[in-house]
Amino acid sequence: MDKLIIEGGHNLKGEIKINGSKNSALPILVATLLCEDEFVIENVPLLRDIFTIKKVLEVLGVSVTIEGNTVKVDTRGAVGYEAPYELVKQMRASYYVLGPLLTRLGRALVSLPGGCAIGTRPINLHIQGLKKLGADISITHGYIDAYGNKLKGTEIFLEGPNGSSVGATINVMTAATLASGCTTIEGAAMEPEVEDVANFLIKCGAKIKGHGTRRIEIKGVKKLHGCEYKVIPDRIEAGTFALGAAISRGEVFLKGASASHLEAFINKLKNASADIFLEKDGFTVKMDKDIRSTDIETAPFPGFPTDMQAQFTALLCLSTGVSVVRETIFEDRFMHVSELTRMGADIRKEKDYVIIKGVPCLYGTRVMASDLRASAALVLAGLSASGTTEISRIYHIDRGYENIEKRLSGLGAHIWRQEE
């Protein structure tokens, strides 16, 4: 098992290319199961999760070839209907196979998912939506067992107690593309990743409109076909590197990043005194002033993304005032707090929020990552800390950031990977 070593105190400066979105690439790769054809998916990040979904597809009988950041998928021929626990437990996004398998085969047997330990993330909305399309679904022995030979379009409300669900919206939308009649999803997730999957499906011949709004309309078609498609840039990766520039008092151009996908985040970064310069092919983040305190509340898009909460918390540890960060999506997404406290942060947790009193500096020490975004928060803290930081259990970060140590080194960070 590897760990990351960071010698803090070095400003990040230069340019970094933002990779394709993991949260788009995963469901897009799975959606190729909807038909028998060949696909070329470009701008796919080379992440642990991508290789996991590759194994899932291969177990189902699909041919998957990775050449650089391009993935070639051949779904022709027979495919299986079971996604086993051994693979699905590694990554929650494996459940995306549920909708496509059900649509193509009329049967899907998918293990209940794993992933980051950031709280209860029920899949009831996925099941509810697919049942509305006519599927017969039960949960037995840790598996979702679904039948549905003739899915039929209908009206479906998909909003849960914590807002809209990206995963459920994508799963139901993909299944509805080949259902008879029209399907209307009310309370749909508006995230850019949902739009991206919809645009991919449209290129395959699906009839979808309203994606990117609360109401998505899908008119079922009889058949889809293969295509070439380029995945959008990863807004969470862009936000993480933007915070790297800010917390290290540096200046970084995020090449390829889409500012329109990060408006709420950028506004909060400006509140924290960062300068943001929008450019033709990305944006620049510069921090040469004291970090100001600001309050954050996570929310579904277009609100402040929950996947940026941990990283922004690391920045606010060094602010000049007191900040409150409220988490409204996942109840256990503050596990980075105890590790930041070990580095000298002054944070107090109260139910679904934390109160952060800024300190002059953080100190390097040994810390342990608990999940993907908490890992990124510890890396950011390490970049600014006095002394050396060692981060263990970094297999989490490899799920969402490609070669993070090499890319940060290219910006001037003193960071390297080492076997424990």
- What percent of the chain has a predicted confidence (pLDDT) above 70? 96
Q: What is the mean pLDDT of residues 4-30?
A: 97
pLDDT digits 0-9 by tens, 89-115: 766 667 789 999 999 999 999 887 654
- Nearest partner of 246 among 184, 203, 288, 185, judged by Cα: 288
pLDDT at 199: 98
- Nearest partner of 2 among 400, 402, 388, 397, judged by Cα: 397
pLDDT at 114: 52
- Residue 120 pLDDT class (50, 70, 90 cuts): very low
pLDDT digits 0-9 by tens, 241-288: 999 999 999 999 999 999 999 999 999 999 999 999 999 999 999 999
pLDDT at residue 117 is higher than 60: no
pLDDT at 371: 87
Angle at 409 between CA 245 and CA 46, to 5 degrees: 95
pLDDT at 115: 43
Comparing 177-191, 202-216, 285-299, 319-333, the range with the smallest average pLDDT is: 319-333
- Residue 119 pLDDT class (50, 70, 90 cuts): very low
* 86 or 106: which leads in pLDDT: 106
Residues 181, 5: Cα–Cα separation, whole Å: 56
Average pLDDT, the chain: 93
Q: Which pTM was predicted?
A: 0.94
Q: How far is CA 97 from CA 189, 260, 384, in A?
A: 19, 29, 41
pLDDT at 66: 98
- Residue 118 pLDDT class (50, 70, 90 cuts): very low
Domains of the chain, first to last: 2-19+233-419 (3.65.10.10), 22-230 (3.65.10.10)
pLDDT at 351: 86
User: Is residue 116 flagged as an active site residue?
Assistant: yes
pLDDT at 93: 67
Active-site entry in 116, 182, 204, 361: 116
Residue with tokens 């004291």: 290
Question: Are 375 and 367 within 8 A, CB to CB?
Answer: no
pLDDT digits 0-9 by tens, 133-177: 999 999 888 888 999 888 999 999 998 777 788 999 999 999 999
- Nearest partner of 57 among 87, 15, 12, 86, judged by Cα: 87
Beta carbons within 8 Å of 192's beta carbon, 6+ residues apart: 21, 24, 212, 232, 235, 258, 261, 301
pLDDT at 122: 60
Q: How far is CA 330 from CA 103, 118, 298, in A?
A: 30, 6, 10
